[in-house]
Amino acid sequence: MLAPSQAHILVIDDTPEAIRPLLLALRGRHWRVSVATDARQGQQRAQLLAPDLILLDVRMPGMDGFALCRLLQASPRTRDIPVLFLTSAGAADERLEGLSQGGVDYIMKTCEPAELLARVQIHLQLARRRAAAVDDTPAPPLSPDEVVLRAAMRLIGQQLAELPPLEAIAARVGTHDKKLSAIFRRHLGMTVFAWVREERLRRGRELLADPLLSMQEIAGSVGFRSACNFTTAFRERMGVTPSQYRKGLQDGAAGKGTPAG
């Protein structure tokens, strides 16, 4: 990580001419500025150049900024690069989506250049402090398919309660449903929905450790329509009902807490 005055900033925007005053302001600070004009090119340049900060548009043809942000978060080489959305997409749900997918800031293209410079400066400084505090051992590289796989798994984990259709999941990680299905089969040996079922039951087992949660609450939070459906699926997979599994957890905890005689 370079000092903020020497930083390299990657701008990913399909209409860079529309933000020319902002680009000029960035270059006026003597920062190195690279530009990519679509998400695919931006992903490639982020992997190749490992910039200190990324300014990312949302509404782009093909893959949008949210999908690209998920892929950047899934790759060891780019996951620690701060992503600031710089966009005209200002709806509340869009702003929340950007921040929930890993963006550290959300800035409107109508902002004054001075505001953009101030926000960029702050995030460069924060990133520099984080980098100084962590182990800088390089992570092993991932193939493009492995990056998509990690991004899809993370997305599914965040939306287990109301999972989008397969086509929507694939689009949100920058691919299509057939390719995503092939990636899951190749790397995990199962279909997307087989993995979803396993993840729902794994998350369900974690939630059963909380005695305050009802079966209906657990079922709903992991994407089952009813406690009955959850119980049936759980028993088929685990050989016991969720209630029996929970009792086993509680009995085990009680045994560990019993003083030796």
Q: Tell me the mean pLDDT in the region 230-255.
A: 89
> What is the Cα–Cα distance from 64 to 241, expressed in whole angstroms?
43
Secondary structure of 170-215 in the HEC alphabet? HHHCCCCHHHHHHHHHHHHCCCHHHHHHHHHHHHHHHHCCCCCCCH
> What is the Cα–Cα distance from 159 to 152, expressed in whole angstroms?
11
Query: At 101, is the pLDDT very low, low, confident or very high (cuts 50, 70, 90)?
Result: confident
> Per-domain residue ranges for the chain?
4-133, 144-256
pLDDT confidence of residue 193:
93
User: Could you tell me the CATH superfamily of domain 144-256?
Assistant: Homeodomain-like (1.10.10.60)
pLDDT confidence of residue 164:
93
pLDDT confidence of residue 252:
78
Report DSSP state, residue 222: T
pLDDT confidence of residue 5:
59
pLDDT confidence of residue 255:
65
Mean pLDDT of the chain: 90
- What CATH number should be reported for the domain whose range is 4-133? 3.40.50.2300
The residue type of 220 is: G
Q: Tell me the mean pLDDT in the region 3-7.
A: 67
Give tens-digit pLDDT for 120-178. Answer: 999 999 988 887 776 566 667 889 999 999 999 999 998 999 999 999 999 999 999 99
Q: Above 60 in pLDDT, residue 259?
A: no
Report DSSP state, residue 63: S
The residue type of 10 is: L
Give tens-digit pLDDT for 196-229. Answer: 999 999 999 999 999 999 999 999 999 999 999 9
The residue type of 45 is: R
Report DSSP state, residue 239: S
pLDDT confidence of residue 195:
94
Query: 102 — alpha (psi -120 to 50), left (phi > 0) or beta?
Result: left
